[in-house]
Amino acid sequence: MTRAAREHALLDGPVGRIECVIDLPAAGEHRGMALVAHPHPLFGGSLDNKVAQTLAQTFAELGYVALRPNFRGVGASAGAYDEGRGETDDLVAVLDYARTRFHAQSPVLCGYSFGAYVQTLVARRVKPLRMALVGVAAGFVSGARSYTAQAVPADSIVIHGELDETVPLANVLAWARPQELPVIVVPGADHFFHRRLHIIKNIVKGAWH
């Protein structure tokens, strides 16, 4: 059995290099690409985040090339935090690289927390194949921050913790309600999905086709 491969790369971005980990599916051919965005860079978010890693691993197991960049100012990525604007530009740049290298046109857009919010902005510029979002930052959240998450396609997979204190479940339901968008609630889970990462993987795999 061929083992999945993992690469570390420095890609060209709008303000300099973008550090990125690329998980390649174990089987030689891939079904497409999945772009995974990590949580808030000013609160310890990076491509090493456990939820981001879980999403990347899940899509690699589903046969996708999973690209997991560091947002600007994190790790070896150039630049500084830009409240989602520059981060959106960076993700689009990673997609441009992936299209050229892997010849995959419509990406799967994945994200966790702030990264999920940014992916709702990316989806306004790039038509996704589908989206998988965990703990979407929407509305007023802890730390006196506010996010205006954008509408997403109707087949998007949205997962949220019942006991999320960072982004209250009510915020995500208020964002999803006018879209008539289902939200999968994980009972007992907080924002960080401690000891429940396997549930995220099972939900995504079960919803995929």
Q: For the segment 145-188, what is each residue's pLDDT rounded down to a tens digit?
A: 899 999 999 999 999 999 999 999 999 999 999 999 999 999 99
Residue 1 has pLDDT above 50, yes or no: no
With 0-12 / 13-18 / 19 or more C-beta atoms within 10 angstroms meaning exposed / middle / buried, residue 85 is exposed
Residue 136 has pLDDT above 60, yes or no: yes
Residue 2 has pLDDT above 80, yes or no: no
Rounded to the nearest integer, the mean pLDDT of the chain is 95
Q: For the segment 11-32, what is each residue's pLDDT rounded down to a tens digit?
A: 999 999 999 999 999 877 899 9
Residue 4 has pLDDT above 70, yes or no: no
- Please tell me the total count of domains within the chain: 1
Strand 64-69 vs strand 16-24: parallel, antiparallel, or unpaired? antiparallel
Q: C-alpha angle with apex 86: 83 to 90, nearest 5 degrees?
A: 130
**Residue 147 vs residues 29, 43, 172: alpha-carbon distances, Å:** 38, 16, 11
pLDDT at 29 (0 to 100) = 80
Residue 40 has pLDDT above 50, yes or no: yes
Helices (H), the chain: 50-61, 85-102, 114-122, 169-176, 197-207
Residue 142 has pLDDT above 90, yes or no: no
| Cβ neighbours of residue 10 closer than 8 Å, sequence gap 6 or more | 17, 18, 19, 20, 76
pLDDT at 3 (0 to 100) = 53
Ramachandran angles phi, psi of 140, nearest 5°: -80, 130
Give the domain range for residue 187.
5-207
CATH code for the domain in which residue 62 is found: 3.40.50.1820
Q: How far apart are CA 34 and CA 131, in angstroms?
A: 9
Q: How confident is the model at residue 90 (pLDDT cuts 50, 70, 90)?
A: very high
